[in-house]
Chains A and B, each alone.
Chain A
Amino acid sequence: MNTTPAPGDAIKRHLPDLADLPMPLLPLQPVLYRIVRRVAALHPELFERLGKHQRTSFVIDLTDMPFALHLRPYLPSLILRAVKRDRLPAHQASISGDFKTLMRLLDADEDGDAIFFSRDLLIEGDTEAIVTLRNALDDVEGSIAEDVAEMFGAAGRLALTRLREMAHGPNH
């Protein structure tokens, strides 16, 4: 077997994982707020299906990203914001998985139970809230990811294409 390192390997080895990079979260917050308001405007039925769990605080931990998300899907005061992993807000339920897994779930391309069986998705806290969120999101036809991409025009669509290639492989 040829074990000679390829050119550039030495540099790659020294690059930190994305999750370890320091990242200013402030610029993300207005973007995330716009996103959650857009989703609420396009898919009011999602929030009806959430019922009492509109008032539940969820943490969605993207394990290979340098931040987690805090979601409170309560229409009168929606919250979707990036939070530091070592300073999580008070929450009742958390969902952890890598970006690729969560992207495939959001695209309804992967079955949540199957991912849970394989242990690629971890859940903690209020199981009922998580099951309700999963079912409510699954009832949204089309793609929430595409709705969000459309908000940012051509740049958004291009970014989504790249993200999907990361999540599903090319030619998705």
Chain B
Amino acid sequence: MTTGELVCPAGTPASLRTAVDAGADSVYCGYQNATNARNFPGLNFTPDELGRAVKYAHDKGAKVLLALNTYPPAGGFELWKDAADLGAKLGVDAYIVADMGVCDYIATTHPDKRLHLSVQAAAASPDAIRYYVEKFGVKRVVLPRILTIPEIREIKTEIPCEIETFIFGNHGLMVEGRCSLTNYATGLSTNMDGVCSPAHLVEYDRDDAGNMSTRLGGFTIDRFGAEENAGYPTICKGRYCNEQHPEGYYAFEEPISLNLSRLLPDLMDAGVNAFKIEGRQRSRAYVRKVVSSFREAVDAVRAGREPNLADLVALTEGQKQTEGAFQTKKWR
């Protein structure tokens, strides 16, 4: 059984301190620019804030992982290089990366730093993972949320690096790092601009009966009845009408969150080294509740006790949760 490092999100300096205080082993965060995949307004860190955050985390025995997990566009590589150099200067413990050019730059320029392969690289086979390990010295892979626990156990025997899996939060199932839905609707790229469903192109419109329509870039992507729970304004979680489904249906995925609290012992037994909580765009209240709940649960499993997790369903998207592919490939 592994120790189960708890990797927690921080969208702001206050969230980082909250995560550390709630028991995070490591915290991941990004700069206020396109170098990370949560480039949302009002979120993320200035260089000064990141420097202070690293000191705070290190003083309390936690690590800071810097997300540089987007893909530089042609001619725009300097931003990613500068971000990596600054991260090294500020003392981050590892980089979370997706692009091979960024991997190569960090492996060459900052060889003493750990590289973690982002889920945005969508490496889900032993061959793919081994490539990144052999070429760039990647120490850990964050697996896409499409594998069962037996598959993860099998992969673990075939790769020379650590495994990190998501355990709570967004249930993203597109081929990550390759999704172009936002790009199609808005002209901005999730993978290069770092923003899925840019907020300045999201509109909510309520009618007199209380129904709410969600639009992205002028496209209506869902309509919620007055008593219905809402979800994020992402195309992959939208509900669409066609001739077979005039009432509308979830063409890609439902607004639902991953919650693997029940599967923690199996994941640790399968060799998963680190557990990632999704949600850099969420609040301190979310970070505090989710991190402290999973801290207790991981500690309980380590001590051979039954984990007793608080009910986190109120924090889930659409107030629904799933164990997704980790439990079965037929989750829908």
Measured CB to CB, the residues of A under 8 A from B are: 49-51, 53, 108-114, 116-119, 122-124, 126-128, 130-136, 138-141
Report whether A128 and B200 are in contact in the complex, using a CB–CB cutoff of 8 Å: yes
**Chain A residues, CB < 8 A from B14:** 138-141
Is the beta-carbon distance between A127 and B42 smaller than 8 angstroms?
no
* Residue contacts A-B, CB under 8 angstroms, 26 given: A49-B42, A53-B42, A108-B285, A111-B283, A111-B315, A113-B286, A113-B317, A114-B315, A117-B317, A118-B314, A124-B205, A126-B200, A127-B199, A127-B202, A128-B199, A128-B200, A131-B40, A131-B42, A132-B41, A134-B42, A135-B11, A135-B12, A135-B43, A138-B283, A139-B12, A139-B13
Is B200's CB under 8 angstroms from A119's CB?
A: no
Contact of B204 among A50, A112, A127 (CB under 8 A): A127
Residues from chain A with a CB closer than 8 A to the CB of B284 are 108, 138
**Of B203, B206, B232, B285, which is within 8 A of A109 by CB?**
B285
Within 8 Å of chain A (Cβ to Cβ): is B47? no
- Nearest Cβ in chain A — how far from B21, in angstroms? 11
Which residues of B are interface residues toward A (Cβ below 8 A)? Answer: 11-15, 17, 40-43, 198-200, 202-206, 212, 224, 226-232, 281-286, 289, 314-319
Instruction: Please measure, in the bound complex, the distance between the C-alpha atom of A111 and the C-alpha atom of B229, giving whole angstroms.
Output: 15
- Closest chain B residue to A46, Cβ basis: B42
Who on chain B is nearest to A49 by CB?
B42
The one of A111, A114, A122, A128 in contact with B41, judged by C-beta atoms closer than 8 angstroms, is A128
Chain A hits for B17, CB < 8 A: 141
Nearest-CB residue, chain A, relative to B216 = A127
A114 to B282, CA, bound (A): 9
Q: Hey, which chain B residues are within 8 Å of A117, CB to CB?
A: 229-231, 316-319
A112 touches B200 (CB 8 A): no
Q: Give Cα distance in the complex from A113 to B286, angstroms.
A: 9
Q: How far is the CA of A64 from the CA of B206 in the complex (A)?
A: 19
Complex Cα gap A119–B41 (Å): 22
